[in-house]
Structure 1
């Protein structure tokens, strides 16, 4: 069994592989590197074979998104730790060492995230993960270093090791035993927030999730679906509701879901007033898709759900009413 496998999920990302794969190879001597290809139609496979023959390639038969793509590929990898890395991540020297030390010294820690900074603006945190993820009482995800679309400059304020609620799928380390125990990502999600769902399920099992700032990576972000893409809006709104259905404590489930449906409606109206009609329609589609998947996902609930997330207030109130723009303003 390998100690750690770096697994890069790729879909038509030959340009990203050309740009970022050399850093992974140079700075990952501890790992075996894999490219898991989601049925690309570009020259991705040929590029890897011709330029990096030592890299192992797993070719998925179809594009089942982030969730299904990793679930399919990881069946063929025998390693203690999976390092799931987006193809638009630039890793840095010694990025693996502090992560491995965390796993070795903390047996209850199942998932770890590095510090994620913006590739295009390297002194700022990046949207997907930043300094570690949390959710508020209504299930809205946010990060140390990122509240909604507001990003903090990295001034060393999150140079620590901290317990977090979720780790970013952009650079996501997990013990293979835990991944298998949890049966991997939920393929109903396809992409977006499936990593938060997996983390929440891990917490419900009694595991811990950590952020370690000694490991640093830079993320381009939006390489597969841009933030302005209505499909991204659809997936984020739909998947957030599915995640709440599966993981909320029973006593809070329906009141939180009702509150979220109302808040989503307010977001849809905001899209209309902003002239973003396709995004409003995406919210409506997300709700109808959620209704169709509700019973199936309700049946996935574990017998026990933690209540740790209730420690966090509403970031909608903190951000839009109190004008809080940084992590310490809204918690």
Structure 2
């Protein structure tokens, strides 16, 4: 009998005992035979690790030296884990008993797939797709990410319309399957990001090297998540706007960046003003701060002046909508993935 590839399910934790209590039980006795569960702790101050060690002695724990957020936190922890595949799993995700098998089978059949995800539904309303991943991440021509089943702040109802397997632009960090060899080849996620856009950047870099990313529609998990509330958090807003610009600069061809960065920073300025004038000055300030931090990064030394080489973007990457999502959503009032893309995304 052929041994299944070893899958290491890794949960990054920071003061998340409540989530661990609620969702670790679903990781016991999965239908997949060769898996391990790891809790990577970012210096929690609660008794999360004691809870795991007491109640789940078969699960393994790693305590990071510091809290490096999502990106550096996973990089530090995963460096200690040997496996064929990682599954980066948010602590607030409920998994189905058989969620591993279909995705691993897909990645075993197609060795070009670096990162993949299952279909991610919303735990608060299981009929809808969840904000942080939906049925696979895509991106528009201006570098704005969205999902099959989730366009900006609109969550679509799951009517089995995305039960297929498909190449996508990025796989969600809420439940990301990673081919370990590629994760190491890419040196993991960009630590500076801390949170927001780190998995998109990594998936993009994988495509720049000729790999693909995919969604497996026959596997499903349910994510509690925060939905549009994420935009109401100034810290997350800051990282979202800063990191998106950094991601574009790290991955796009220079000729495209020459006109795109001025356009994007102008659109960000408008967005910041709209927040400010609508009474959300703290969110507007975060948008402006994120843009200022981007320019400091660009002319600073944190990136050592080196960027991965973009391979062409529009013609070489999967999961790109060649139009502008903001125009379709805000002006034309098209709010679903199919309305906007007309299934034109390859």
Query: TM class, shorter-chain normalised?
Result: over 0.9
> What is the aligned partner in structure 1 of residue 29 from structure 2?
26
1:101 and 1:95 map into 2 onto residues whose CA distance is 11
Please give the TM-score of this superposition, normalised by the length of structure 1: 0.96
1:259 and 1:298 map into 2 onto residues whose CA distance is 25
Give 3-state SS (helix, strand or coil) of 2:306's partner: coil
Give 3-state SS (helix, strand or coil) of 1:214's partner: strand
Bigger drift between 143-152 and 267-276 goes to 267-276
Unaligned 5+ residue runs, structure 2?
342-346
For residues 200-233 of structure 1, give each alpha carbon's deviation from its aligned partner in whole angstroms, at most 9, with x where no partner exists: 000000001000011100001139x944211010
Unaligned 5+ residue runs, structure 1?
none
> What is the aligned partner in structure 2 of residue 314 from structure 1?
324
> What is the aligned partner in structure 2 of residue 279 from structure 1?
283
Among candidates 318, 323, 326, match of residue 336 of structure 2: 326
1:105 and 1:312 map into 2 onto residues whose CA distance is 29
1:179 and 1:52 map into 2 onto residues whose CA distance is 27
1:2 and 1:207 map into 2 onto residues whose CA distance is 20
> 1:13 and 1:190, CA in 2 relative to 1: closer, same or farther beyond 3 A?
same
Per the TM alignment, residue 311 of structure 1 is displaced from its structure 2 partner at its CA by 4.7
> What is the aligned partner in structure 1 of residue 344 from structure 2?
none
> What is the aligned partner in structure 2 of residue 172 from structure 1?
176
Per the TM alignment, residue 294 of structure 1 is displaced from its structure 2 partner at its CA by 1.0
> 1:260 and 1:126, CA in 2 relative to 1: closer, same or farther beyond 3 A?
same
> 1:30 and 1:313, CA in 2 relative to 1: closer, same or farther beyond 3 A?
same
2:28 and 2:263 map into 1 onto residues whose CA distance is 47
Per the TM alignment, residue 75 of structure 1 is displaced from its structure 2 partner at its CA by 0.7
CA contact (8 A) 2:138 2:321 kept: no
Per the TM alignment, residue 329 of structure 1 is displaced from its structure 2 partner at its CA by 2.1
Give 3-state SS (helix, strand or coil) of 2:192's partner: coil
Is 1:159 matched up with 2:163?
yes
Among candidates 12, 15, 40, match of residue 12 of structure 1: 15
Count of residue pairs brought into register by the alignment: 330
> 1:81 and 1:15, CA in 2 relative to 1: closer, same or farther beyond 3 A?
same
Per the TM alignment, residue 58 of structure 1 is displaced from its structure 2 partner at its CA by 0.4
Is 1:234 matched up with 2:238?
yes
CA contact (8 A) 2:234 2:282 kept: yes
Bigger drift between 303-312 and 259-268 goes to 303-312
1:43 and 1:67 map into 2 onto residues whose CA distance is 23
For residues 31-69 of structure 1, give each alpha carbon's deviation from its aligned partner in whole angstroms, at most 9, with x where no partner exists: 110000010000101100110111100000111000000
1:318 and 1:226 map into 2 onto residues whose CA distance is 22
1:2 and 1:59 map into 2 onto residues whose CA distance is 26
Bigger drift between 287-296 and 96-105 goes to 287-296
Per the TM alignment, residue 29 of structure 1 is displaced from its structure 2 partner at its CA by 4.2
> What is the aligned partner in structure 1 of residue 64 from structure 2?
60
Give 3-state SS (helix, strand or coil) of 2:28's partner: helix
Aligned-pair Cα RMSD in Å: 1.6
Please give the TM-score of this superposition, normalised by the length of structure 2: 0.92
**Matched ranges for 1:241-252 at <5 A:** 241-252=245-256
Give 3-state SS (helix, strand or coil) of 2:291's partner: helix
1:162 and 1:29 map into 2 onto residues whose CA distance is 26
> 1:219 and 1:300, CA in 2 relative to 1: closer, same or farther beyond 3 A?
farther
> What is the aligned partner in structure 2 of residue 291 from structure 1?
295
Is 1:88 matched up with 2:92?
yes
Give 3-state SS (helix, strand or coil) of 2:236's partner: helix
Bigger drift between 114-123 and 24-33 goes to 24-33
